[in-house]
Amino acid sequence: MIHDYLVLSVILFCLGIVGVFARRNVFTVFMSVELMLNSANLAFIAFARLHQNMDGHVLALLVMAVAAAEVALALAVVILLHKQTGKLDTNVFSLLKG
């Protein structure tokens, strides 16, 4: 039973990696990162259910909270950069260099 969840988690993580490396759109990259974080959450919860404890659930909630904060900050940066450049390409972040 846990094998199925872990296989699904690995597949989702690999899809997220492909999305990060293959896409140039900032929002697609952020969605791929969220997919990778959710695949890690699936693995945490699968192992927690296997061992009959709540540690994996607590860790998954912590990862969700950090992901929500990361998305809020990243979205603010993307909106500001889009106002300046008018593009949503990942090359826009080279403007942040000092």
The percent of residues in the chain predicted with pLDDT above 70, rounded, is: 95
**Average per-residue pLDDT in the chain?**
90
Residues 56-93 pLDDT 10s: 999 999 999 999 999 899 889 888 888 888 887 777 77
- Provide the CA 11 distance to its chain's centre, in angstroms: 14
Determine, yes or no, domain membership for 11.
Answer: yes
- Can you give the CATH number for the domain in which 75 is found? 1.10.287.3510
- Alpha carbons 98 and 29: distance in angstroms, whole number: 23
Domain that holds residue 53: 2-90
Q: What is the mean pLDDT of residues 41-52?
A: 96
Q: Is residue 98 part of a domain?
A: no
Q: Does 48 reside within a domain?
A: yes
Q: What's the pLDDT band for 7 if we cut at 50, 70, 90? A: very high
Query: In percent, how much of the chain has pLDDT > 90?
Result: 63
In a domain, 97, yes or no: no
Which pLDDT score, from 0 to 100, does residue 98 have? Answer: 62
3-state helix/strand/coil string of 38-91: HHHHHHHHHHHHHHCCCHHHHHHHHHHHHHHHHHHHHHHHHHHHHHHHCCCEHH
pLDDT at position 27, please?
85
Q: How many domains does the chain have?
A: 1
- Provide the whole-model pTM: 0.84
Secondary structure (3-state) at 25 = strand
